[in-house]
Structures are given as structure tokens and as C-alpha cells.
Amino acid sequence: KAGVTQTPRYLIKTRGQQVTLSCSPISGHRSVSWYQQTPGQGLQFLFEYFSETQRNKGNFPGRFSGRQFSNSRSEMNVSTLELGDSALYLCASRGPANTGELFFGEGSRLTVL
Amino acid sequence: ILNVEQSPQSLHVQEGDSTNFTCSFPSSNFYALHWYRWETAKSPEALFVMTLNGDEKKKGRISATLNTKEGYSYLYIKGSQPEDSATYLCALRQTGANNLFFGTGTRLTVIP
């Protein structure tokens, strides 16, 4: 069974640009969450999608947005990039089991110059 | 913003030593406590999901306990091996929420 796949793995952008990151969950998983990790911080929750609907949102500015497609693939977009947006962005999918265990991708590392 | 704290931040142990780390969290609205293991250049992998006060779970040489009344969980590694070197994350899920609140992790280095 293929794991969670994130693309691209690495990217470099400049301030003011926008970026789109993609996440393909494990087959059969309908919930996709996004987390941001910056140095010295724990993983910070961005948002969660389930069946194409945003179910939950973290405390991030409106520049951070996302969506989910009918095949459960998800994208997140960050507009008007700032230096502080440099981070590792992790996507995780959750299956139907009640444990709530998350299955993570390897992340997309964004550097903003 | 919830305060999930992990200690120590990092530690080095000799191969064969046993070790343990702590995760503390607010006990109100508790739903579940997760432990993840994150090796460098890989993705975090779930170790345990615990929901009941007094829960003890074990996977090989790694075990965890949970005290929801006082808001802490311990992760134990018996007879550490170099392959145990990783960052260990705990995360809290509260009642009515689907997202997790993560601690900043404990980075373990096992010296051969």
C-alpha cells in the first residue's frame, strides 16, 4: 500500500510569490491534514479536509488556504510569501479506524528568500 | 493555543541503556494522546495512540504510559539501540477536535 506522497519535496521561492503544495493520501483515506514545522516549534496545525470540505482550521492568516479534490488529493496554497513562511510542510492522512492515528508524508521544504 | 510540553529536549545515551521521556499536557477535554517517532529525512510514524487513564502500551522495546488526570505520559525505551535514534513527538487530541497539538519533541541519540 503506497504511503502519503507530497510534492514537491523541496522548493525555493522569493518574497511576494505564491506556492502550491500537493499531497496524495493513502488510498481509501478521506481525511487530509496539513501541519507546518519551523525551527524550535512543534508541528503547527494548518487545516484538515474531509470529503472535499474543510473541517477544521488552525490559527494561520488567510494567505494560507487549501482544498481537497474528489479523489482525496489535497493542495495547500500560500500567497504573498513572507520570509517566516520558510518551513517544512507536512501532510497527513487518517483512515477510518477510530484510533485517529495519522500517516505522514515526508514533507515539502519551502525556503523563502 | 495548548501547551504540550516534552522533556528533555534532547539526550544522548549509550547503546544498551534504558531511557524515558515525558510529555505533559492540559488534562481538560482530553480525548487521546499520540506518540510518534521521527527519524531524520523520513516521515513521522505513529508509535501509540492512548485514550484511557492508566493505559500502558508496548511495541517491542518501547512502551508508554498515560495519566490523564494529572496530564502526563511517559515513553520508555529499554536497551536503547542506535536505530532508536530519532525525535519522539507526543501530540494531544482534545474532545470534539480532529487536529493534534504537538510538543516540540525529544531528540534521542544512541551512541554505539
Beta-carbon contacts below 8 Å between A and B: 60
- Which of B43, B97, B102 lies at the smallest CB-CB distance from A105? B43
pLDDT at B2 > cutoff 90: no
What are the C-alpha distances in Å from A6 to residues A28, A104, B87?
A: 17, 9, 21
- pLDDT 10s digits, B34-74: 999 999 999 999 999 999 999 999 999 999 999 999 999 99
The per-residue pLDDT for A1 is 63
The residue of chain A nearest to residue B87, with distances taken between CA atoms, is: A42
pLDDT at B102 > cutoff 80: yes
Q: Which residues of B touch A29 (CB under 8 A)?
A: none
- pLDDT 10s digits, B16-33: 999 999 999 999 999 999
What are the cell numbers at A109? 521544504
Contact: A104, B44; criterion CB under 8 Å: yes
- Which of A31, A58, A104 lies at the smallest CB-CB distance from B43? A104
B40 in contact with A, Cβ within 8 Å:
no
Contact: B44, A40; criterion CB under 8 Å: no
Q: Which residues of B touch A56 (CB under 8 A)?
A: 97-99
Contact: B99, A90; criterion CB under 8 Å: no
The per-residue pLDDT for A96 is 73
Residue-level pLDDT, tens digit, chain A, 113 residues? 679 999 999 999 999 999 999 999 999 999 999 999 998 888 999 999 999 999 999 999 999 999 999 999 999 999 999 999 999 999 999 977 667 899 999 999 999 99
In DSSP terms, B86 is beta-bridged to B108
Interface test with A, best of B89, B100, B101, B106 (most A CBs within 10 A): B100
**SS3 for A35-103, per residue?**
EEECCCCCCEEEEEEECCEEEEECCCCCCEEEEECCCCCEEEEECCCCHHHCEEEEEEEECCCCCCCEE
Contacts of residue B13, defined as CB under 8 A and 6 or more positions apart, other chains included, come to B19, B80, B108, B109, B110, B111
Contacts of residue A61, defined as CB under 8 A and 6 or more positions apart, other chains included, come to none
Contact: B99, A45; criterion CB under 8 Å: yes
Place of cell 495512540: B49
The per-residue pLDDT for B1 is 66
Contact: A43, B89; criterion CB under 8 Å: yes
